[in-house]
Amino acid sequence: FRYSTVTVTHPLGTWMLALCVTAAGTVVDEKLEGRKGVRKKGVDGQVRSFKEIPHTGRSGWVNLVKFWREDRFRQLHKHMERTFNALGPIYREHLGTQSSVNIILPSDIGELFRSEGLHPERMTLQPWATHRETRHYSKGVFLKNGEEWRVDRLLLNKEVMMSAAVKRFLPLLDEVARDFCRMMQAKVEREGRGEEGKRSLTIDPSPDIFRFALEASCNVIYGERIGLFSSSPSLESQKFIWAVEQMLVTTPPLLYLPHRLLLRIGAPLWTQHATAWDHIFSHAEARIQRWYQRLSSSQGRGSEAGASGGQYSGVLGQLMEKGQLSLDLIKANVTEMMAGGVDTTAVPLQFALFELGRNPEVQERVRQQVRASWEQAGGDPQKALQGAPLLKGTIKEILRLYPVATTVQRRTIKDTILQNYHIPAGTLVQVCLYPLGRSADVFAAPQRFEPDRWVNNGEKGQTVEGSSFRSLAFGFGARQCVGRRIAENEMQLLLMHILLSFHLSVTSSEDIKTTCTLILQPETPPRITFRKL
């Protein structure tokens, strides 16, 4: 039962597989137009035209062929970084059918977000939308825009974003994090080396972390455990993991191919993608049916507390009991949250264990703060997290260095000026997170792992104006990730319990090589040594 690679059988899959969600980062070579510089001025200081923005080539199809020929898709995040170094803080990108303007400086990012309006719009993942349309399923907030999106989002915020909601689901996350550490302690004691009680074990923890992320998500969203820490996880759970992997790996090529044509001819790539989503939706449908069964059972016993028996019943239970969203919309939104909430927490946790392991002084500093806070909180997870700002800083620092998504996008709703260039309304503008997080123009010592830089209002390590727009891994504003509070607390709680239970070290302190598929992840998962404290 391990996280595995899914093979795309479509003939174009080999090279299209590594296309990321965005079209940013085309190859930089000696033919690039433009040069490095900031806020270029036109004649007489006037705003320069859109066409004058530096770009990487006018033909999207030529750019696409270059990428294919040089097999550079898997390093899109590095190509973005290289392109900014060559062209400056803004450039145009045309890749296949996708066009965008890419930016990196917090001052420009702030200008973009300040003009986004009541209904911010980002790039739609059309293959996902097409699946919903062909299956006659409702779309969740991830795939909606306009007033319809806003109405649904405000209702969801009450159950996943507000402080009262966090207080309700935090104990469920804490329960899973504690169980993970108990499982790891047993594994270290059983398989590790050294004298009893002080054993250590060196492993690739990614399969266990992936199981943790799925178990935690199910507990919060569906209000039930699925037993992934047992020696023989259920077939249903394994199918869900397979489906999420299949969905993630088949999405990128479909972004740049005519997926509706592939649908009509029954191409294997589209069939794999649609089948994966069908399994994911079936998983949600089964959980909804179980909720109804629990409701019927509680009513049969004469309970007046509803399906939850007076206890928190998860996001699904809260939405079902309140009845403000239709059943189809509830199903669509919990399905999207489940599908998007596993890899996006499991992968950053791998990077976090690695960075803490190769930075023992930082690890000890965070542990001491966590230990003091935990003791003072008396076992209350919310109080413990509030008293350990370095823990939150650790997550922000990991997502600065290793952002899960490579970009945050907005489609401009009105004409905008960025870097003294005119950006017409309707333009897709992308904030490129990997080069932003590693830019010496934005961060002091950007290659250094320093959770402290985010403490005290993030004043340490600030080198430019617009410091409010330097940490954007979960997006920004009304359109930020709907599962942000779940993910942040999930990662912090697991790290807290790991640091209370283990000392971490690494077998190699060399930088991790990363690759970009739908998300940024290690080429090879790091091996971590867990030593019981």
Give domain status of residue 327, yes or no: yes
Please provide residue 151's backbone torsions phi and psi, each rounded to the nearest 5 degrees: -60, -50
pLDDT tens by residue, 72-87: 677 889 999 999 999 9
Tell me: pLDDT of 309 over 70: no
Give domain status of residue 383, yes or no: yes
Interatomic CA distance for residues 267 and 260, integer angstroms:
10
- Domain enclosing residue 360, as ranges: 50-295+312-459+478-532
Is 481 labelled a binding residue? yes
Interatomic CA distance for residues 197 and 453, integer angstroms:
36
More confident residue, 294 or 155: 155
| pLDDT score, position 245 | 84
Q: What pTM was estimated for this model as a whole? A: 0.87
Tell me: pLDDT of 177 over 70: yes
| pLDDT score, position 398 | 98
The CATH number that applies at residue 128 is 1.10.630.10
Output helix, strand, coil percentages for the chain, rounded to the nearest 5. 55, 10, 35
| pLDDT score, position 284 | 85
39: alpha, beta or left? (left if phi > 0; alpha if psi -120 to 50): left
Tell me: pLDDT of 117 over 50: yes
Give domain status of residue 42, yes or no: no
Give domain status of residue 210, yes or no: yes
Give domain status of residue 41, yes or no: no
Give domain status of residue 149, yes or no: yes
| pLDDT score, position 262 | 85
pLDDT tens by residue, 179-218: 999 999 999 999 999 877 788 999 999 999 999 999 999 9
Give domain status of residue 264, yes or no: yes
Give domain status of residue 126, yes or no: yes
| pLDDT score, position 355 | 98
Question: Mean pLDDT throughout 302-314?
Answer: 62
Scanning the structure block, which residue is given the tokens 């299956």? 135
- 3-class DSSP state for residue 471? coil
When divided into structural domains, the chain yields a total of 1
Strand partners, 432: 407
Give the torsion through C-alpha atoms of 207, 208, 212, 213, to 10 deg.
-30
pLDDT tens by residue, 373-385: 999 999 899 999 9
